[in-house]
A and B are shown apart, each in its own frame.
Chain A
Amino acid sequence: MRADLIDIQVEDRGDDVEITLSGSLGSYQLAAVREKIEMLTEGPGCFVYLNLQRAHFKVGDYLDLFLELLNKMHARKSKLVLIFDSDEQDEYFARYRNIFEIYPSREAYKDSGVSKQLQQIGVYYTSKTGVRLSPTVAITLALLILGWAITLFFIIAAQGRDIADKQAQIIALQAQKDRYVHEIDRLESSIGPLRKLGVVQDTTMLSSFGVIQDWVSYLEYLENDRREK
């Protein structure tokens, strides 16, 4: 019940955890605040932002709490960032300004530099997974993976181009075949009446492999042809 004057808000974005404290923080609330803050910072999170913009500190004891918290976060390889943008808080944290990382907002910290954040992520996941990579090895690995990715991309792109060419060829040949079939049909229909009259000899069937498929048939055809002549 002693914590009833404080509102606590947690926004968990995976690696980023923002804890917002608001309300009057006097000496009666200290124990409760300590318990709640420790409880909330215990879980996962590479960057823990403690938003104190709407907190009003009535006693100086909270500085010790935040210093302890900073140590704990440091031991857990997480980064503690204090978020506020007010003169009141500036004055409250003036003594330890160089110890704490203080930013006006979470976005401001995000914009403050990529390298230190990457380094922090590295440190955090090293402690979590037990795998430690030196920056040189990390960069080499990253370049290697990037190289593989680029090579893979080029191979896929080249194959894609090849497949596209082949497809275009197939489509063109298909169109050509259709055109020829159409043309043959047209020609057949035009000579149809003449063939009926016997003016034109129908040789189309002869050239067909469907009709003469073996030597016996071929010889029979030659014999018939000779007899007709």
Chain B
Amino acid sequence: MRARTRTARQAVVLAAVASLGAGLLAGCADDGNGDSGGSSSSGGGGGKTTITLGLFGTMGFKEAGLYTEYEKLNPKIKIAENVIERNENYYPPLLNHLATNSGLQDVQAVEVANIAEIVSTQASKLTDLSKAPGVEAGTWLDWKWKQATTADGQTIGLGTDVGPMAICYRKDLFEQAGLPTDRDEVGKLWAGSWDKFVEVGQTFKKKAPAGTTFMDSPGGLLNAILGSESEKFYDASGEVIYKTNPAVKAGFDLTAKAATEGLVGNQTQFQPAWDTTIANSKFATISCPPWMLGTIKGKSKPESSGKWDVAVPPKAGNWGGTFLTVPKAGKNVAEATKLITWLTAPEQQAKLFSVQGNFPSTPAAYTLPEVTGAKNEMTGDAPIGTIFGEAAKAIPVQVIGPKDQIIMQGLSDNGVILVTKGKSAKEAWETATKTIDNNLEK
């Protein structure tokens, strides 16, 4: 009897331990073959091929009904997506998966901030899409296509959306400050140079409503200025030149000047306090890719709707956007390539824009009714599709580098923001460059 109870107890304990261990091991198993249906044609779905997409944030394919539509067009295909909320949590594991050739989805999204690093270090692991059936370079904006193309001509990512920056401005604040409110006249005020934009800020400040600034934040201004340069942090040969590039220093100093004179709010973008400055209408302009209208809408009080308008920027630049890549180690390379070719075609991009506000990277989409007829609640009846389309076509082919994001973040979060705290432009530049150099050193 004793023995029986002992062994019984032992068995229970062992079973518990075994199931615990199995659970832990299962936790370690790569999610690529997890319960999302598996990628093999034999696995579930009644002989269907499941294509998996690894995405971050809200890319909107599902929300726009594109998966359902594709599955209807291709009855043998099932689509499953695996989404991680924030890119900073999505990107490092992606690098790990690429290095070990495991845990990869059939399609992996790459943010524009990381595309240069992927192009320069991971191209051998990704399918060259330039020769894929139905893919033509001319479909995409020239600069967008080139961002995902290696030096030897492989294109490893197809562009989904882009973020052409325009200037969103508050008509009511402009009027109170004695500035024109018509979007064409406003655009003419600063056409061609960021210096003029800052000068408009000085004019604004003279009669500005109490407590308001011309622009939202120093980081936003610097990002807009540097985004419109054809060469910023890297030169064409891939060398880091941010410290010696006169355009970068000029942009930094111009932003510092605007900060010293109080033309920009002393905020960091996307912090809760910055959100509140939107709600409380504390600034008159913001550098504004199409997706920023969504942010403004989300943070504003209802009485602000319709008070915004969109004007052409001094110089066009890009902020944001994504690519879809197909890892060679995936199980359904051919089908995955077909899928992303379809997903990134102008018609689908236009549909995505109308539902999710992601701006198309294919000029053919700019004449489709979804884009030309687009309106936003915040900007009244401004033809935003046409304005952003013009800006997108004016964006220069920019040299981008693998560490652009680290350098940009250093210049704004460890740099120009300090000027709003009373540091001189020189001190801010030194802190920024010291931080960036330390971050770049291997």
Mutual binders A and B: no
Which residues of A approach B to under 8 Å, CB–CB? Answer: none
Q: Which residues of B contact A (CB under 8 A)?
A: none
